[in-house]
Amino acid sequence: MAVNTTAYQQIVTELNQQQVTLVAVSKTKPPEDIEALYALGQRDFGENYVQELVDKAAVLPKDIRWHFIGHLQSNKVKYIAPFVHLIHGVDSLKLLQEINKQAAKHNKIINCLLQVHIAQEETKFGFSEDELLQLDSAILSELKNVQVIGLMGMASFTEDMSKVRHEFKHLKSIFNTLNNHHFTLNTLSMGMSGDYTIAIEEGSTMVRIGSLLFGARNYTL
């Protein structure tokens, strides 16, 4: 088993001091790896693929808080709505409306983060700052079964850490701006294995860490 429990303990100690929440990103890793961190007290786990999340949730302890951090298609919301704890990557009003609809069926409120496009790469999903500012508060407040509690972003995939820092700073400033408008946000999900220290310095409250804990992912399997 490749789970790095030493790294886990160090990261948890570091994050606790800063009051930052750790989401352990377990995508592509087997349930046994999740159990290894669960045994050490970890309860927040993040997954990117709906089917994989559903399969793992079925066989793992019920008190795990499952974070969906991937790109979510509207037609798949129904599979995770019964149990998901937080959906990080909400990138359209249409998706938010679908989450609201599915949450209503289960008579629950699903917490969501809006994904913001902060990286230069074209491929990253998310709202722009302008799109967020233009979101109609009246429409949002009609969605009784979703609660937008924060923002999520991914920095560019680059060695240039000053660029990464600049992008995180930008996301934090958008977070502050929205809080001065009609939002009440408390969660800023930014930072992964390679950049979480910078993200925390720039105001992250939640980091999503995979490979530092579980080892490199092998997508060819």
The nearer residue to ligand PLP, 126 or 148, going by C-beta atoms, is 126
Identify residues 72-91 at the interface with ligand PLP (CB under 6 A). none
Which of 48, 102, 111, 204 is the binder for ligand PLP (CB under 6 A)? 48
Q: How far is the CB of 141 from ligand PLP (least distance, A)?
A: 28
**Partner residues linked to 146 by β-bridges:** 110
Choosing from 25, 84, 164, 206, the residue that interacts with ligand PLP (CB under 6 A) is 25
Is 69 a residue that touches ligand PLP (CB under 6 A)?
yes
Distance CA 89, CA 91 (A): 6
Choose between 31 and 194: whose C-beta lies nearer to ligand PLP: 194
**92 belongs to the binding site for ligand PLP (CB under 6 A):** no
* Smallest separation (angstroms) from ligand PLP to the CB of 107: 29
Interacting residues of 63 by C-beta distance below 8 A, sequence separation 6+: 43
Q: CA 51 to CA 7: how far, in whole Å? A: 28
| Contact assessment for residue 67 and residue 49, using Cβ atoms and an 8 Å cutoff | no
Q: How far apart are CA 44 and CA 69, in angstroms?
A: 12
Interface stretch with ligand PLP, choices 11-19, 126-134, 179-187, 192-200 (CB under 6 A): 192-200
**How many other C-beta atoms can be found within 10 angstroms of the C-beta atom of residue 58?**
9
Pair type for strands 110-116 and 187-189 = unpaired
Which single residue brings its beta carbon nearest to ligand PLP?
A: 210
Between 146 and 165, how does the x/- string for binding to ligand PLP read (CB under 6 A)? Answer: --------x-----------
Please, which residue, 194 or 203, has the CB nearer to ligand PLP? 194
Q: Which residues of 157-174 are buried (b: 16+ CB within 10 A; e: fewer)?
A: eeeeeeebbebbebbbeb
Residues that bind ligand PLP (CB under 6 A): 25, 27, 48, 69, 154, 192-194, 208-211
